[in-house]
Amino acid sequence: MLRKRLRNERKEIGAEERARRSESIALNCLKFLKDFPKVQHIHVFLPIKRLCEINTVPLLRRLFKLEYRVYSSVTLHGSRKMAIVKLTADTVYETDKLGIPVPKSPEFVTDAKLIDLVFVPLLGVDTLGNRLGYGQGFYDTFFKELDSNVLKIGLSFEAPMPEEIPHETHDVPLDACIHPDGSILF
């Protein structure tokens, strides 16, 4: 019920407003990163347009300009696993059969432990860092492959919600959330 409500609320945000908020989120990500100077290897999700996700392209452009090492993932279809791929400013993308942008010629990365920080998509997050995703468990599975100290940062069109999001023992909480008006550590 909550997942459906949040999906509908997101779809009601107009394209111009989504673009404005995505730009604000990108700028707030850079402000956030200033407090973590040791972070060099950053995983960023690629936006799925049909889900009206935050457009991470403005963030990616800035990260490349600042010479961060940037990665994303491709879904290994038929499983709940994601394979890490390296991204550069020159990466060419295509859309896979699920409507997800993916590198046309992916450069796979085998050492998941090198990732310092993951920017995570979400539908909602509460003030305790409990994330509501799409319900498939891809990121919870992915987090298990990463170093235990990796920073898990949710990107949200809205500030964290005061109501607690239902969660289970296998759900991995976030360390922070970045939204158009700023960021919050959990």
Residue 138 counted as an annotated binding residue: yes
- Unique residue bearing structure tokens 């999700």: 45
Residue 78 labeled ligand binder: no
Is 182 annotated to bind a ligand? Reply is no
The reply, when asked if residue 131 is annotated as ligand binding, is: yes
The pair of structure tokens assigned to 68 is 């961060």
> How many Å apart are CA 158 and CA 101, to the nearest integer?
24
- Tally of CB atoms within 10 A around 22: 20
Is 93 annotated in a binding site? The answer is no
151 annotated binding-site participant: no
**Residue from 44, 51, 25, 24 nearest 123 by CA:** 51
Binding residues for substrate: 46, 53
Annotated binding site: 46, 53, 131-139
Annotated binding site for ATP: 131-139
